[in-house]
Amino acid sequence: GAGVSQSPSNKVTEKGKDVELRCDPISGHTALYWYRQSLGQGLEFLIYFQGNSAPDKSGLPSDRFSAERTGGSVSTLTIQRTQQEDSAVYLCASSGTRDRGHEQYFGPGTRLTVT
């Protein structure tokens, strides 16, 4: 079946502009995660959605970052007033919740470059 998809694959934006990154999880997966991969910080957790519960936003680096998940499926990560330090690969992952320690399936990522 289809895996996790993300769009766009690459995004170049000017400093100060807003960007939206999209994630389509695997059908039926109730959990969705956003991570950021950058040279300076490695792989970092950003936010987690589980069904209709309130998201865990503990990893968001600033209030310029926000995310939503509509209808328990597609998620959008929004970065407002982008800064050069926001340049990174943004990875989305989804998982089922049937068992403890379930694996996360990752999308190919969106490479964001802020100029």
- Closest distance to other proteins from the beta carbon of 3 (Å): 8
Return the structure tokens found at 39: 């040279």
Contacts with 5 (C-beta within 8 Å, 6 or more apart), sequence order: 23, 24, 107, 108
| Residue placing its CB nearer to other proteins in the complex, 2 or 54 | 54
> What is the Cβ-side half-sphere exposure of residue 12, based on CA atoms within 13 angstroms?
1
Question: Which of 51, 62, 68, 81 is the binder for other proteins (CB under 8 A)?
Answer: 51
| Residue placing its CB nearer to other proteins in the complex, 20 or 106 | 106
| Residue placing its CB nearer to other proteins in the complex, 16 or 97 | 97
